[in-house]
Structure 1
Amino acid sequence: MNTVAQITTDSAKFKDKKRKLWLLGLVVPNIANVAMLGYQFGPKKAKKLFAAAGPIVLHGIIPVIDRFLGEDSENPPEDAIAELEADPFYEKVVNLYIPLQYIANIYGNYLASKSSTPLSDRILIGLTLGVVNGVAINTAHELSHKAGKRQHYLSHLCLAPTGYNHFRIEHPYGHHLRVATPEDPASSQFGESFWKFWPRTVTGSFKSAIEIEKRRLERKGLSFWSVHNELLQGWAMSITYHAIMLKMFGKNIIPTQIAQSAYGITLFEAVNYMEHYGLKRQKLENGRYERTMPVHSWNNNSLFSNILLYQLQRHSDHHAYPTRSYQALRHYENVPQLPVGYASLFLHVFIPKYWYSIMDKQVIDYYQGDINKINLYQPAKENVLEKYSDYFNAKNNQEIKEVSK
């Protein structure tokens, strides 16, 4: 049984201790802006360090801060959630990310456009912008779950630099419906490397978004090519953004734009890969999957990375209550827990050997050795059964023997 961690704070006196800390969510685009200043005006010997500031901070500095600050498992009282949700401060913090994101992109492309900027630096600047725009996909995620059209268009604005606008449609109406099932392209499977997952999720989510929007328009008696197609609206915003950038700065920014989009998408999909690895909703007697519960997501309470990512790492509560705003998300006891925060796991994800070494046995232990309960990557089934034969219980021994023959 899943239980929400409790706190003793009197709800009548409840104050969000992290209220001012949420402003740290604006650090990522500002790191890029400061780095671009350093690149333009700093010493020549340090230019490449400034250009690569995004990846350096993401993969090197944030994990260290996460370890130093530790975890935060405090939850708001249940009767304080409505007040938290109604407080406009939290929405303003999310919306403020967008102008800072665009300042970083404009500044970075300006520097990349200069004839004196070498190709290697243009690519490194692109990687730094990729960190900004990858986190912006998470900003789009927060906005995409809101009901208002304004939030949806702001979500598309966040997605325009990476061109990942289909996410606004597929995530709330596709992924949340199929999460932790073999049918979901955005749920990674046990034994599936990130480099197998990446093309599956990118192409599968794109196709899913088209089908979802096509069905929505058909119900209204409209063509897919209608002006009411939100996918076309989002893609038009992305095309317009890139056209303006090219018009302003010229073809020198093309390597920067390609690098930022590819890296931003890769970072976000790496997070997707972490969030549901190997977890599966079981099928009921009627053939349908059980309802989505907190146990179908990996959870983490690393304080600093949760602040930067609007508590995305409290993913168990997010899938249990998809419309709940970030400031009200709760920690659950007795659900799958990641050993560290997302920032500390990126390099493990990118090197499958290390990912498997820290996560596979956790999945097997969680399902008490019953491979039939695991969301298994079927092409890797034989290798998985052979590799972990000692960890699966007697229930699976016959299947293991048959595979090994």
Structure 2
Amino acid sequence: MRARKPRTTAWGRRETRTATSDTAEMPKATGAAETLPEWRDPHKGLWLSGLIIPLTPFLAWGLVSLLGPGVFWAAGLLVVALIPSIDRFYGPDRTNPPDEVMKQLENSRYYRWCLFPYIPLQYAGLVLACYLWTHAPMGIPERIALATTVGVVGGLAINVAHELGHKRTSHEQWLSKIALAQTWYGHFYVEHNYGHHIRVATPDDPASARFGESFWRFWPRTVSGTFKLGWQIESKRLKRQGKSVWSLRNNVLNAWLMSAVLYVVLVAVFGWAVLPYLIVQAVFGFSFLEIANYIEHYGLLREKRPDGKYVRVAPHHSWNSDYVMSNAVLYHVQRHSDHHAHAGRRYQTLRSFGDSTPQLPGGYVSMGACALIPPLWRRVIDQRLLDYYDGDVTRVNRGPVDDADPAEKSAA
């Protein structure tokens, strides 16, 4: 493919660090052998660690049965809380596979089978939780604690759905919808692929957080906005094809139908007593996704071309993190720049761009915890963001002026 000529933009020196062709924009392999037979994935076994998360309802049950304290019903949160410490132990890893092994790595079935078992384990844990909510000697706080554990499983299942939903095979796309059914977030399948990836890092994207916008203000905007956008995108698609919006061809409706059937079956089997906790775990689960959305593009803004349209998505429009454990559990979603540049690329082949892209000072778990405390988040990230833009606040995503609250306007 012929390389594009470099462009001169408002990015100045940082634009020169970013690629100007499809081949050049990929970082060179580092820390790996050049020949195919000699290269081995240094973290190959670690990819299985993602399957620990859907096992946490079983872990919670076992710990409470053996040790007694009800706090162990929140085992999902307790396990996730360990990840930042493991991240610090391993540290960041910016090595990339050499180009020569990419095709073989992409086609390796091992990495798919590190992912696929998540879904049956996810639903086994959900059924167990419904049984425990109705049969185990638990108080309401303990039931809520178990709901948070199930919510962690459902939240990370959205990340599994994210990986599968970008693939072209029909069975992976359907598995993506199945993974989303637990949290009633089936519209994500449409909105993320055909909305977020087009509008990312612009004020028009409900899933891109704005400079000065707290997570608690972002949450209702993104939850409602992604729902509306997903429905609009799917409605327009069907109308262009001359098909009814109110049919099973609607990818939003058929995904929601999966959720409805799932909840009806669980209530029919276990009774109405499980419904409040199913709702708690669903909200908890999709809120995990929205925390990730919040930190992935916070304050970053795509430049506009002379014709007023936004430039193509580039690596510097995403925050990245190369901490090993977080990347293993989240299937490399923290290498977010490469994901947006090559959305169909499988997680094991995503690459680090190093310091040519904005870098988070920690993994998604520690950064997500910061995001829940707005003053702490702004202290950690805002200056880092402004430094990346050489102190020019006009280059950050502040959103529409009339949509900002007073705190956001003063921040701008």
TM (norm. structure 2) is 0.90
CA, structure 1 residues 120+328, in 2 after alignment: closer, same or farther (shift >3 Å)? same
Aligned pair partner of 1:23 in 34, 48, 52: 48
Instruction: State the secondary structure of the residue aligned to 1:183.
Output: coil
- How far, CA to CA, are the matches of 2:237 and 2:251 in structure 1? 10
Aligned pair partner of 1:11 in 17, 22, 35: 35
Instruction: State the secondary structure of the residue aligned to 1:82.
Output: helix
Is the Cα contact below 8 Å between 2:29 and 2:99 reproduced in 1?
no
Residue in 1 that maps onto 2:311: 290
Moved more, 264-273 or 375-384: 375-384
Moved more, 205-214 or 80-89: 80-89
1:203 paired to 2:224: yes
Is the Cα contact below 8 Å between 1:66 and 1:305 reproduced in 2?
yes
Number of aligned residues: 384
Map Cα deviations across residues 88-142 of structure 1 (whole Å, 9 max, x no partner).
1211221110011111111111101127321111111100001000000000000
- How far, CA to CA, are the matches of 2:140 and 2:411 in structure 1? 44
- How far, CA to CA, are the matches of 1:31 and 1:15 in structure 2? 30
C-alpha displacement of 1:18: 1.7
Is the Cα contact below 8 Å between 2:54 and 2:118 reproduced in 1?
yes
C-alpha displacement of 1:10: 1.6
Amino acid in the other structure paired with 2:48? L
Amino acid in the other structure paired with 2:128? Y
- How far, CA to CA, are the matches of 1:354 and 1:309 in structure 2? 24
1:371 paired to 2:396: no
Map Cα deviations across residues 249-301 of structure 1 (whole Å, 9 max, x no partner).
11221232122111111111001000000000011001110000110000000
Aligned pair partner of 2:336 in 294, 315, 322: 315
Name the Cα RMSD after superposition: 1.6
CA, structure 1 residues 385+228, in 2 after alignment: closer, same or farther (shift >3 Å)? closer
- How far, CA to CA, are the matches of 1:232 and 1:387 in structure 2? 40
- How far, CA to CA, are the matches of 1:36 and 1:203 in structure 2? 35
Moved more, 163-172 or 242-251: 242-251
Amino acid in the other structure paired with 2:60? A
CA, structure 1 residues 5+274, in 2 after alignment: closer, same or farther (shift >3 Å)? farther
Residue in 1 that maps onto 2:259: 238
Amino acid in the other structure paired with 1:30? L
Is the Cα contact below 8 Å between 1:135 and 1:264 reproduced in 2?
yes
C-alpha displacement of 1:217: 0.9
1:270 paired to 2:294: no
Residue in 2 that maps onto 1:400: none
- How far, CA to CA, are the matches of 1:232 and 1:68 in structure 2? 44
Gaps of 5+ in 1: 389-405
Is the Cα contact below 8 Å between 1:36 and 1:108 reproduced in 2?
no
Aligned pair partner of 1:51 in 60, 63, 73: 73
1:65 paired to 2:86: yes
Map Cα deviations across residues 40-99 of structure 1 (whole Å, 9 max, x no partner).
x2243x1x22211111222x3111111111111110012211111111121122111001
C-alpha displacement of 1:387: 5.2
Moved more, 155-164 or 1-10: 1-10
Amino acid in the other structure paired with 1:186? A
- How far, CA to CA, are the matches of 2:85 and 2:330 in structure 1? 16
Instruction: State the secondary structure of the residue aligned to 1:52.
Output: helix
Aligned pair partner of 1:147 in 156, 161, 168: 168
Amino acid in the other structure paired with 1:9? A
- How far, CA to CA, are the matches of 2:411 and 2:253 in structure 1? 46
Map Cα deviations across residues 207-249 of structure 1 (whole Å, 9 max, x no partner).
1111111111112110101221111111110011111111111
C-alpha displacement of 1:315: 0.4
Residue in 2 that maps onto 1:160: 181
Residue in 2 that maps onto 1:91: 112
TM (norm. structure 1) is 0.91
1:214 paired to 2:239: no
C-alpha displacement of 1:370: 1.4
CA, structure 1 residues 28+115, in 2 after alignment: closer, same or farther (shift >3 Å)? closer
Identity of aligned residues (%): 42
Residue in 2 that maps onto 1:42: 66
Residue in 2 that maps onto 1:396: none
- How far, CA to CA, are the matches of 2:128 and 2:57 in structure 1? 9
C-alpha displacement of 1:37: 2.5
Map Cα deviations across residues 166-224 of structure 1 (whole Å, 9 max, x no partner).
00111011000000000000000000000110011111100111111111111211010
- How far, CA to CA, are the matches of 1:98 and 1:187 in structure 2? 28
1:190 paired to 2:211: yes
Amino acid in the other structure paired with 1:34? L
- How far, CA to CA, are the matches of 1:183 and 1:160 in structure 2? 27
CA, structure 1 residues 194+5, in 2 after alignment: closer, same or farther (shift >3 Å)? farther
